[in-house]
């Protein structure tokens, strides 16, 4: 059973390794390498980053929010990231991390969470749908990964307790 806690800067090497494992699948992101800690730290909401930790103390997965804009009118809108280590997939860690992130984001006043997911990443799409996200469209050929144009599905979750209900 994993424990979920706030991500600390010293967690970055293990978090980065899990991010690299996600990148290696070709299904998680258009990124080809994870950034260094200062760049990653600067782009993610400080109080809304979590790690799942095994009983042995290993980080098994992580979740975080990235603001969609620096404009104040979008202060309650963020993009979700959830990554699970290769050896820990299929154990409902993604579900636990996403549920925790949703609850804490609402506590912090976020009313809209969004996700951009490759259509081939069926497990991630199913995870988000299970947690109240809905498919709102797609962005066709939005970016290239290894020279191949990729499309992403856009999913959105609106809070039932924050913002317009």
Q: What is the pLDDT of residues 111-121, one digit of tens each?
A: 999 999 999 99
Q: For residues 7 and 49, give the distance between their C-alpha atoms in angstroms, rounded to a whole number.
A: 5
CATH number at residue 36: 3.40.630.30
> Considering the domain boundaries, does residue 86 fall inside one?
yes
Find, among 107, 112, 123, 120, the residue nearest to 155 by Cα.
112
pLDDT at 50 over 90: yes
pLDDT at 90 over 70: yes
Which residue segment(s) compose the domain that 17 sits in?
A: 3-113
> Considering the domain boundaries, does residue 122 fall inside one?
no
pTM, entire model: 0.94
> Considering the domain boundaries, does residue 73 fall inside one?
yes
Domain count, the chain: 1
- Provide the pLDDT for residue 165: 59
> Considering the domain boundaries, does residue 123 fall inside one?
no
- Provide the pLDDT for residue 73: 78
Find, among 165, 163, 138, the residue nearest to 73 by Cα.
163
């Amino acid at each position: 059973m994993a424990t979920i806690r706030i991500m600390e800067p010293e967690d970055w090497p293990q978090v980065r390794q899990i991010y690299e494992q996600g990148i290696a699948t070709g299904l998680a992101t258009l990124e080809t390498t994870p950034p260094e800690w200062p760049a990653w730290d600067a782009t993610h909401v400080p109080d809304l980053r979590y790690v799942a930790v095994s009983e042995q103390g290993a980080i098994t997965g992580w979740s975080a929010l990235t603001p969609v804009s620096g404009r104040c009118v979008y202060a309650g809108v963020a993009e979700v990231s959830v990554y699970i280590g290769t050896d820990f997939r299929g154990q409902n860690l993604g579900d636990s991390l996403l549920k925790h992130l949703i609850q804490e984001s609402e506590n912090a006043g976020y009313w809209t969470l969004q996700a951009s997911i490759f259509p081939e990443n069926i497990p991630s799409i199913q995870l988000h749908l299970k947690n109240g996200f809905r498919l709102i469209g797609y962005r066709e050929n939005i970016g290239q990964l290894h020279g191949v144009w990729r499309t992403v599905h856009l999913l959105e979750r609106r809070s039932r307790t924050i913002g317009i209900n």
